[in-house]
Structure 1
């Protein structure tokens, strides 16, 4: 077996040999944007590291798995206000994802899993993988880390604490970073929970939503800098911890490894088509 889980570190000879065994290929994606004043802008760092841990566990469990280079720039949404942040237009990201899949699929590398760390990537990943399914009958799943992480938090912290700690710039991302990259958290900048303000004469209810009337909500074409200036929304970052992050990562890695194993179980070893 090759000595690395990273495709980029394999020699050409190692890769050719590995390809004949039809391994699982993980495609980590993230973003480079405002994650709150205390957290590193690159949430792709966490996606890449979790993907590596998934590959390590899956391979140890008997499912040969590798990690492709991470795509660090996420699909553009409402974080363009961040100085230094870099995002790709949705059409550009779609072209990138299509090309990544084309390069792998042409060589019969059909066992693919996206490890995604950014909401703005979800639509592109879904559309690109649906195209592959409709044209080639190959299922390429995506594990959106933070969506799964939100669902795991009540079981780790309890329902009440999870509700207070969950949000953008809070749990699950901040706790995961505290566990994986503690030196990158700048605690001196960590705020408490955001107090919603008003924009355009209405109460802010989200990055691009405002409350109106009795219980009504409308979406507006603002960026996050207009509605949530410090990038923290929905929770209290001070409730995050490395211990919570360790529990989250352990569960995310287990789910990712099981996803890799399921992809192998449910794909024809000769054609790569899904067994449905």
Structure 2
């Protein structure tokens, strides 16, 4: 019998019976946005969903970790104006996440993990996670799996690889090759990468980031070089990322804050 780990597939009676003291609820969250001429709009949401499923499916049957339906839309402000992009405002997305946290707390859950597939919203999820913690008592853990250390891959790489590039394209070729138009893929964003190379502290995303829009960096919408992406590489990346996420979920489950006394 296939183990059920999708929380929404349970009845309310089933949810009542879950041991909330050890349960972890996982919310995959992505975006619907342009990913250059070769990748589908759903790339980020599909990454979050498949990586989460792969991670949880590899856990023991009694792991008590439950997955919610993927939240497909995200804060995609940097891609607005590109055909097909559907973006929530920061206020809307934060409200959705807060409502989610309040609802889970009302059902007795204590731990929530956001598995984020979209690079435009980690900062927002960090902020809203703390608000959920403050307002509901839930322990909240935002994680972006694509930031886990990557496996060693024999590839010469220069410039950015943050949107529709080698990594994202390889994973999509592994999980949904029918949605990838690799014949349309080409590198873009190298001029911006070269510009940032001139500076000691200034980066696109790092210690001293800039509030960039896609139009600042790329004509095509791709920020990276997807031309040598492959399904074989994508499978290696997916396995590595999912393994690290599975380990992380078990760490979240085992974690508790030490008791403190306010002075």
Which TM-score bucket, shorter chain as reference? 0.7 to 0.9
SS at match of 1:63: coil
**CA displacement at 1:57 relative to structure 2:** 1.7
Taking the aligned partners of 2:46 and 2:119, their CA distance within structure 1 comes to 15
Deviations, residues 118-176 of structure 1 (Å, cap 9, x unaligned): 1222122111112244566653212202222xx31xx4214x53547833211321111
> What are the within-5 Å matches in structure 2 for residues 55-134 of structure 1?
55-60=56-61, 62-134=62-134
SS at match of 2:72: coil
TM-score (normalizing by structure 2): 0.83
Asked if residue 230 in structure 1 is aligned to residue 227 in structure 2, the reply is no
Deviations, residues 214-239 of structure 1 (Å, cap 9, x unaligned): 74969887742454121112x32012
In the other structure, the counterpart of 2:250 is 261
Deviations, residues 180-228 of structure 1 (Å, cap 9, x unaligned): 111111122112x22656xxxxxx459xxx77xx749698877424541
In the other structure, the counterpart of 1:201 is none
TM-score (normalizing by structure 1): 0.79
In the other structure, the counterpart of 1:174 is 169
Aligned in 2, Cα 1:133/1:248: closer, same or farther, shift over 3 Å?
Answer: same
> What are the within-5 Å matches in structure 2 for residues 151-162 of structure 1?
151-152=149-150, 155-158=151-154, 161-162=156-157
Unmatched segments (≥5 aa) in structure 2: 204-208
Deviations, residues 60-90 of structure 1 (Å, cap 9, x unaligned): 4x42212101111111321002222211001
Contact 1:165 1:237 in 2 (8 A): no
User: Aligned Cα RMSD in Å?
Assistant: 2.9
Contact 2:101 2:136 in 1 (8 A): no
**CA displacement at 1:3 relative to structure 2:** 4.1
Contact 1:58 1:64 in 2 (8 A): no
In the other structure, the counterpart of 1:252 is 241
**Which sits farther off after the overlay, 123-132 or 134-143?**
134-143
Taking the aligned partners of 2:116 and 2:249, their CA distance within structure 1 comes to 14
